[in-house]
Structure 1
Amino acid sequence: MSTFKELKSNLQPEYSYNWKLIKEKDISHKQLQAEPSLDFLDKINNKTTKPRCQNIDLIVPSKKRTRSQQIQLEQFLNIIGSQLHDDTMSTSLSRHSNEDIRQETENDNRQFERNDEKRQFRIQEFIKTEKSYVETLKTLVKYVVSPLKYNMQQKNCVLNTFKCHKIFLNIEQILSVNEKFLQDLQNNSEFGLVCRQHIINFECYRKYLLEQSEAQKLHAKEFKTNQVYKRFLSRVKDQSEFKRKRLQDILVEPVQRISRYSMMLREILQLTPEEHSDFRGLKIACEKAKEIATMADDDPTKTATMFLNLYQAIKDSPCSLINQKRSLVAHLDATEIHRVTNKPTRAVSLFLFTDKILVASRSCIDAKEIDLEELLDNTATTTSTSLFNKNEKALKFKGWADIESIELFDGISDSTFILTATNVQETKKNEMSNITSFENYFYKGPRLFSVIAQTRLKNSNFLEKVNEFKNVYQKTRALVKQYEVQDKTYYRVWKGVPTFCNVYNPDSYVSAKYKNDSAIIYVDDDIIDTEKLFARSSYLYNPWIIGLIQPENMKGFRFNICTRMNFTRSSINKSNDLTIDFESIFWNNMLFLDQSLKRSVEFAAHSMLKIQQATNSNNSRPRSISRSSSIPSIGKLFHNNNDNIPTKNIIKQTQKRVPVHHSWSSNNSGICEN
């Protein structure tokens, strides 16, 4: 039986430092004096040691808990924060949703007329025309489609298989759904319910509507050039059921019928009071018929269309950009600033998806902001073609990466921010790194972006734009770490610092693609396999800080922290004002340790080593360290803080590899901007 003490002992080999909890009410780092000798590049690196938020993993074993155990767990979760739900929607889909709302509003403003006799007449007219329509389709299938399909694979066939399917499409499927519809209309008095139940099955009309134009062209061509086909149609036209109708007129009837459904049902709806049992069914059926008739897309189709338009608009973008499971969360036009010269490099557009961050450059440094709505609504290729026929592509792909691997930091000023690679996905034994050429843009070093240059002439609140993008980026980055259905994300703010806590059970934590640097284990389970949770083979990817929380029979919680490195208290602004409040002790210590970790050279060197190993696994050719990205330049950032001095082995290890977390590539001149 695993006890709290035994669990601490099991963690001891790797997490050998026990942190003595600080109980001051307010814990903050001593403010270090600014280093005047830091150049612009080192100032950027310095910013990447100060994260905007804290990220923690909480591991809660799955088990059947007693009522009191469940109450204590919920108490601790309340301390963690409130559950964060994924309410992000793709930009295009939310825009379409607004259109749907407006459409519903328009429908609600209908002109109601109370006339039961007229209403009944319209219903009978609907059924009568439906019967005539079904009879026409049955005649077509009986005398034309079935005979042609019967001999289409024979040597002397009238039409081969391809032509037969291309002309008549799925007319037999349409006949089948309409026969069932007619049967229920004739045998069931609940007109609205029948319409609702059957018209949702009319999705088969989409294929017919989409391909009808080509079908008519092929029919006309065959009728003109294929004399056997022409004679066959001349003979069947003499059948009395055809009523001397031409085939091309019959083939267009499904197109006309699906359009009439919307019109006829709307007329009946205007004669139906809202309290009538038919009303809701008629309204849904009317909207669905209109959606099909106008070829309005459902949500998955809208998503695919949006990403297809985006893919076509961004030159050199990866084809994997088109993904039904992905949504566009936010977009921001900005200027990338050179990380050494502090001068504008290129105008860019940043696209934040639910799983990726993508950067595309615009045509020139003074390029106008893109019209995102026009870009995404570009359903016809004419607009995108016109964009690209001006000797300039509106957008050109620069790079993208998993947002779990790219962290956002505040920039040098309020109008700037930094995106830089801080993590990589753990690869299994004998596997290649998943870092591809598309990620190279981010793994060459921190990227500084400014928004003020894009909005200065518009007198818009550019600071609000930047802050909104920063906040939604942090939220999306936390939510994407819900890798399994049962995974959850909690959120709260402590001492002005946003904290995101990803909650896993032990199995989902082990399989999580990206893990945070701090982990909390909720200890009320009989068995917790720490070797499985923190495998030594995954040393580079294991957390630095582990907290243990044990409920104590409704009396509170026992709290312990163990770490992989020795954190000292010399940088604390000490106070004589102590607290025994568990919530304050918990968050003050977790926040202080997280900030201390990110400020340490040991952590920076560790991050460089991890990312360098991943990038080198796809590149057998070794690369040298640039002058500007060497370890001594990083050391300058910390020389006033002697709490965490990296060991000689770490420095020696890191100097053999290209540092990424605080560096970028350089050519012979020492600077290379990609």
Structure 2
Amino acid sequence: MLRWESNNTLSSQERARLGAVPKVPRPWRRSKGEAKEEETESKLFLIANELLQTERAYVARLHLLDQVFCLRLTEEAERGSFPPEVIRNIFSNISSIYSFHCQFLLPDLESCICRWQEGPGLGKALLQYAPFLRMYADYVRNFDGAMELLKTWTERSSAFRSIINDVQSQEVCGRLTLQDHMLEPVQRVPRYEMLLKDYLKKLPEDHPDYQFSQKSLQVISMAATHSNSAIQKAESQKRQLEIYKMVGEEEVVNPTNQFLKEGRLRKLAARNTLAMERHLFMFSNFLLCCRPRFSLVGQRFTVRCKVDVDGMQVHQTTNEDHPYTFQVSGKERTLELQASCERDRDEWIKIIQDAIGEFQEKQETFRLAPKENASYKKVVLRSIPKTPFRLDFGGL
């Protein structure tokens, strides 16, 4: 039976228990500096064990996703409460991921630790399975759509909502939501990358496992790049929804819009030196300048002005009475803002400049696209033979 753990890190008791590494001769040991080598070996052992312990906890969560959430929802879908394809689209290839970790990767990691007295071999153990981590690409690509479907059907179907609430109320869920558990596979590959990097730093370059570890890290890093991008996007979308509730601006949750930065700044009045506290939200499509307002149901803001990125300009300004100022101007509005320090001001200017640059690149791409398509059509038309052809209707 799978053992549930509430988190992915080793406790101090487990670290203490696992810290005693058998001191046996190694064929790769040098004759000098044995104490340092034993210390290095102990650190390598702890990293490998942390990977093993977190893998056990991870497999337990995959079991929860595949054999509890997905299975119960699938059974209810077969009764006609909601379309079966909804469940398939939400959970994507989670069954394949669960089978891979449960039947292959976890058993081999356990064998690797059992054979540790023969010498550290984590890199070699991971290398044979690293290419299979590419299966996470499908899960990561599907993640955003899965979150949307989950939200939609939780609101639309009482049967769907009831099953999710029932499972989430169980102790095995660790007081986490289905969304939290579904994010775990997206986070897992970057976790492998982090631990393997740590392992490689402490592994002597002349060790037999060094080359295996390097090759494993190359493959895992490629898979981690996709996962990190999905994590950032998921966190951005979550924050966008929270901001939408605070400001009530529908364009905040537009799928083409991306949250970039927020913070408190002071807005300088145009005709006097008065500075007013404002809260700014920067998105890929626009900037919101807001004023905090009283609310009994959490933090809320009133939008005072909105500046679109289309036509936006930003530059540093000099103000004798107010240091660390910069100006954001749009087609209709101009804001002079004061940051709390030079670093904060520079960060805001860079974020806004990057947003403007990315927007302009997209606009240029759209502008050139029709011309490229027209050129392509001309090439295709020129390639069509001009030789007349004759229709043969046979005996009709």
Query: What TM-score do the two structures reach when normalised by structure 1?
Result: 0.30
Q: Which has the larger radius of gyration?
A: 1
Higher relative contact order (CA 8 A, sep 6+): 1
Structure richer in helix, relative to its length: 2
Query: What TM-score do the two structures reach when normalised by structure 2?
Result: 0.49
